[in-house]
Amino acid sequence: MAKLKSEKNSASEEEKRPVSLSKQDKRTINQIDSMAEEVCKVAQRHKEPLVAIPTRSLSNIRFNQSRRILEMGNKRTNRELFNVGQAKSFMQTMLVASGTKQLIEMGKTTSIRGLYYMLKHDIKPTKEPTFHDQGECDPIIEDCEVLLDSLREELHLFADKRGDMVGNLIIEDNGDEIDCSRMGSGGYAIPSIVEPNVIKFKKCTAKFVLHVEKNTVWQRFNEDKFWKKHNCILTHGAGQPTRGVRRLLNRIHHELKLPIFCLLDNDPWGYYIYSVIKQGSINLAYESQRMAIPDACFVGVRSHDFERCGLSESVKISLNDTDRKRAKQIMEYPWFARKKDWQKEIELMLKNGFKLEVEALISRNISYMTEEYVPMLLKEGKFLD
């Protein structure tokens, strides 16, 4: 059986071609180099090599009331090479940092699974693998993000991509000009890395973004050309939006100065999605300043909509114990706890005893949500903050 070996002068030559690094790439490489130099310096002074990693646990996360985003505090934990309990993770940290540096220098990106495969090998002459499984690699990647003050995307790592966009916006993606108002029924698939070196905004006439929870709802709004009639951009995240979608919304909001309106289910999961878009995620608080959109608004579905929109009895979905528990937890999040309107909103859902999906509006008529409901809400302009 023929072995599949490199053809001479094909791929290898390609790889030798010097890659022109963006400003951002240079900064990231600097971060990695400084960290490595620091470790070496300590070793040369015959001290124990270590890195001080910002603590990612809940105890080191706080809600910054003035910036209105989740932030990490200043706590750090030392990770030492000459410590039996930390030696492995110390070495893994160096390995991940070095792997991402390689990626940046090659001008390539990969998934976190790809990086795991790139770095996984047995440490010879032992049979000890660098990582037993991906579950061992992923937290180290997150450690490197905080240690190097670099988003995963800046380390050339991408996540799964989900979520599409249409609307009055022209972008440039890797040199290709894409007119999001000419994307048919399918739409432009939002990539996982949407940093300025990949995605550039060329022309935007839209006045706001409508972000909807599900792709089926997005399809309804796109089919009814809502974005054309109301001069906006229409996005969805197929549930909890990916980092790519959140980062893109963040950039559109800050760079193009467009408000972000969210149309989500009237249930604890919808509230949670809103919370992540607006304030950031508790697990990944360090990325909030690049991802969170504290001025995002919740347009619906609202707890009073069942009555207000005259929906039929049959669209109610009874709350279960998990829903009630989750709703109460969310009410206590600091950024919801101080807002009377949100307290009332969630209390009313609990009092109703049922939740409502966006699709429940279809029971009025198929285009009620696109032609009556959202237009009326936009006209009124009374959103939940």
Selection from 304, 308, 300, 219 nearest residue 262 by Cα: 300
Give every CB contact of residue 42 below 8 A, 6+ residues apart in sequence. 48, 49, 50
The contact pattern for a second copy, residues 57-96, with x = CB under 8 A and - = no contact, is: ----------------------------------------
Q: Residue written as tokens 């110390």?
A: 90
Residues in 238-267 at the binding interface with a second copy, rule: CB under 8 A = 238
Assess 235 for contact with a second copy (CB under 8 A).
Answer: no
Assess 215 for contact with a second copy (CB under 8 A).
Answer: yes
Residues in 263-302 at the binding interface with a second copy, rule: CB under 8 A = none
Give every CB contact of residue 343 below 8 A, 6+ residues apart in sequence. 331, 336, 337
Q: What separation in angstroms does the CA of 260 have from each of 57, 64, 118, 233, 342?
A: 29, 21, 38, 9, 18
Interface region with a second copy, contact rule CB under 8 A, candidates 135-143, 201-209, 280-288, 355-363: 355-363
Which residues in 181-338 belong to E strands, given as ranges? Answer: 188-189, 199-204, 208-212, 232-236, 260-263, 297-300, 317-318
Per CB under 8 A, the list member of 55, 77, 83, 111 interacting with a second copy is 111
Per CB under 8 A, the list member of 177, 255, 295, 341 interacting with a second copy is 177
User: CA-to-CA distance for 137 and 131, rounded, in angstroms?
Assistant: 6
User: CA-to-CA distance for 120 and 51, rounded, in angstroms?
Assistant: 22
In the bound state with a second copy, the residue whose beta carbon lies nearer, of 16 and 45, is 16
Assess 18 for contact with a second copy (CB under 8 A).
Answer: no
In the bound state with a second copy, the residue whose beta carbon lies nearer, of 39 and 169, is 169
Among 117, 272, 274, 286, the active-site one is 117
Least Å distance, CB 13 to a second copy, is 10
Per CB under 8 A, the list member of 31, 109, 250, 279 interacting with a second copy is 109
Least Å distance, CB 343 to a second copy, is 18
The pair of three-digit structure tokens given for residue 51, joined into one six-digit string: 């890195």
In the bound state with a second copy, the residue whose beta carbon lies nearer, of 66 and 314, is 314
Are residues 306 and 355 in contact, defined by beta-carbon separation less than 8 angstroms?
Answer: no
Assess 182 for contact with a second copy (CB under 8 A).
Answer: yes
Are residues 170 and 203 in contact, defined by beta-carbon separation less than 8 angstroms?
Answer: yes
188 is catalytic: no
User: CA-to-CA distance for 190 and 164, rounded, in angstroms?
Assistant: 5
Assess 331 for contact with a second copy (CB under 8 A).
Answer: no
Assess 322 for contact with a second copy (CB under 8 A).
Answer: no
Assess 136 for contact with a second copy (CB under 8 A).
Answer: no
Which residues are catalytically annotated? Answer: 117
